[in-house]
Structure 1
Amino acid sequence: YQKAADLGSSLGINNLGYCYQNEIGTSIDKQKAFELYQKAADLGNAHGMNSLGNCYQNGIGTSIDKQKAFELYQEAADLESTYGINNLEYCYQDGIGTSVDKQKAFELYQEAADLGSTDGMNNLGDCYQNGIGTSTDKQKAFGLYQKAANLESADGIINLGYCYKNGIGISVDKQKAFELYQKAADLGN
């Protein structure tokens, strides 16, 4: 990533920041990670905007500024970054840098799912399962978890197992639930 960053690749710069944040091939340097994410965001990279938003939300290499995090997630979402959309969803759902708006969160979960994001599918499934921003629909929740699981999402597999275990949108099948939990464990979850 260092070579890509040296060549001015905004994605390489963002990924190098991730390395500094998570001690991948280098020692942890959260300030350096923050600076690299800022540079990637300044170059218009949606991943950089999302990563920088995460820094502001959680105080990584900078002080916490939830409003700034919200704004950066919005910028990334405007570029159709599913990561940005998913983080923006959480902001609306939990009131991070903005007021709580469950309906807006639901709409964003739908957008992310439509773009193929397994996180979006799982989150939209949670909305249907628990009536967040929409009416409860256990069958739709099950279908979304199944779609995410079919795309090898460990969270989708776990959620699908939970549905089989508890009869959410499908008949109880504890053996199937066990098999799904085992598959998720095999994937490292």
Structure 2
Amino acid sequence: MRDIRNIKALGAAALAWALLIAASPGPSTGEQVADLLDANKPIEAFSLAQTKANEGDAEGQFALGWFYDNGEHMTADKAKAAGLYRKCADAGLSQCQWRLGVMLDTGEGVAEDPAAALALISKAAAQNNPQAQMSLAVMHANGRGTPVDYAKAMESYQAAAKAGQPHAFFGIGLLYLEGQGVAKDGETAAAWFSVANLLGDAQGKATSERLLAGQKNDVLDRVAAKANAIYAEYIGPLARPAPAAAPPAPKAP
């Protein structure tokens, strides 16, 4: 039986607008800003974002909003960030819709408005934005801006998990652990938490370690098998050990 600790792990995207620039056919504004940051040129990156945003470039508005939102190389200003995100959200950029939706849900820089947050995040999720799919799942699971709907939460968690979002695996694990919309199943929950752990999710790590501590080998084997199957379905083929070399043929006497 392959142990869950041997499942191949994947890294996470580094920059907030990685999804935005991934589909760009050429050097988009977001890509140029990211390149300048990678080259340790934050002043030039901010200047480019500001120039493009003032020209009405939606990606420039997102990048400039990101600077104000995160306080990168400057004092954070959530209200300015929200204003910039609203402009590029109106232009249809899913990253802007998602981030502004989160700010509306939590009241960061804007008045808290879960219903408006749900509408924006739903638009972003419909564009297959995995961060938005993750946020939408949480809103359905917790009844933020909408009645609790565990089936919709599961659907959105699964979509985000297929896109490789580590915390989506944790979210599905919670549904199984609590029996929310599915039959309560601690072993299946532990398997989902284990995959979240292997993908770098801190809550997945803490919860899987807690649930598996002191368990007998047969339980660990079942959880490992389920975790391997989940990983293979949602992330990709498992790493396989290289076959052992064949022993040399005996020499003729």
Q: TM-score, normalised by structure 1?
A: 0.80
Per the alignment, residue 124 of structure 1 pairs with 136
Q: Measure, in 1, the Cα distance between the counterparts of 2:169 and 2:62.
A: 26
Shift of 1:65: 2.7
Any residues of structure 2 matched to 1:97-108 within 5 Å, and which? 97-108=109-120
Per the alignment, residue 33 of structure 2 pairs with 17
Shift of 1:165: 2.1
Q: Measure, in 2, the Cα distance between the counterparts of 1:75 and 1:188.
A: 33
Give the residue type in structure 2 aligned to 1:62: M
Contact map agreement 1:33 1:61 (CA 8 A) in 2: no
Per the alignment, residue 83 of structure 1 pairs with 95
Per the alignment, residue 71 of structure 1 pairs with 83
Give the residue type in structure 1 aligned to 2:75: S
Per the alignment, residue 212 of structure 2 pairs with none
Shift of 1:44: 4.3
Per the alignment, residue 54 of structure 1 pairs with 66
Q: Measure, in 2, the Cα distance between the counterparts of 1:182 and 1:95.
A: 32
Q: Measure, in 1, the Cα distance between the counterparts of 2:27 and 2:104.
A: 28
Any residues of structure 2 matched to 1:36-55 within 5 Å, and which? 36-42=48-54, 44-55=56-67
- Structure with more contact order per residue of length (Cα contacts < 8 Å, sep ≥ 6): 2
Shift of 1:85: 0.5
Q: Measure, in 1, the Cα distance between the counterparts of 2:120 and 2:114.
A: 10
Q: Measure, in 2, the Cα distance between the counterparts of 1:47 and 1:186.
A: 33
Q: Measure, in 2, the Cα distance between the counterparts of 1:154 and 1:179.
A: 13
Structure 1 unaligned spans of 5+:
1-8
Shift of 1:104: 0.3
Q: Using a 3 Å threshold, how does the CA distance of structure 1 residues 176 and 43 change in structure 2: closer, same or farther?
A: farther
Structure 2 unaligned spans of 5+:
1-25, 202-253
Shift of 1:133: 0.9
Q: Measure, in 2, the Cα distance between the counterparts of 1:20 and 1:171.
A: 50
Q: TM-score, normalised by structure 2?
A: 0.62
Shift of 1:43: 5.0
Aligned alpha-carbon RMSD (Å): 2.3
1:149-184 CA distance string (max 9 Å, x none): 233322222211221222222112222222222323
Identical residues among aligned pairs (%): 28
Matched, 1:176 2:188: yes
Would you tell me which structure has more helix in proportion to its own residues?
A: 1
